[in-house]
Amino acid sequence: MSRIKSGTVTRRRHNKILKLTKGFHGGRRRLFRTATEALQRAMNYAFRDRRQRKRDFRKLWNIRINAAAREHNISYSKFIHGLKLSGIDINRKILAHLALEEPETFSKLVQMAKEKVVVS
């Protein structure tokens, strides 16, 4: 039985990994074993942070809405509650955009929310 060498297959597999580590520094780009470890870690972070980004943006939108609502003497929670009672279904991304870019429209929304909620 003849011996089967796997040189081309191994080289292709190695090159596939090394191609993905483009932009890494030092041996993390050039050495296969180190590159494999670095790539695995990078992909784990990427997987985790795709979900984390959604949380981070929602936090940012809530902060912006709260700041804009407090300028109109209403808290964030009362503002959101008032919008729900008014039947206004706008997501937080759009609310944050309105608060930042279109303050007149946002102030109208605040007035509509204030009508439905008792503000102390």
Q: CATH code at 35?
A: 1.10.1900.20
Q: Report d(CA 110, CA 91) in Å as an integer.
A: 15
Residue 1 lies in a domain: no
Residue 2 lies in a domain: no
Q: Report d(CA 80, CA 63) in Å as an integer.
A: 13
How many domains does one find in the chain? 1
Confidence at residue 39, expressed as pLDDT on a 0 to 100 scale: 97
Confidence at residue 117, expressed as pLDDT on a 0 to 100 scale: 83
Residue 100 lies in a domain: yes
Over 60: is that where the pLDDT of 78 sits? yes
Query: Which residues 6+ apart lie within 8 Å of 83 measured at CB?
Result: 89, 90, 109, 112, 113
Token couple for 38 = 């670095």
Confidence at residue 120, expressed as pLDDT on a 0 to 100 scale: 52
Residue 86 lies in a domain: yes
88: phi then psi, degrees, rounded to nearest 5? -90, 120
Residue 4: band (very low, low, confident or very high) from pLDDT cuts 50, 70, 90: confident
Instruction: Note down the domain range covering 111.
Output: 7-116
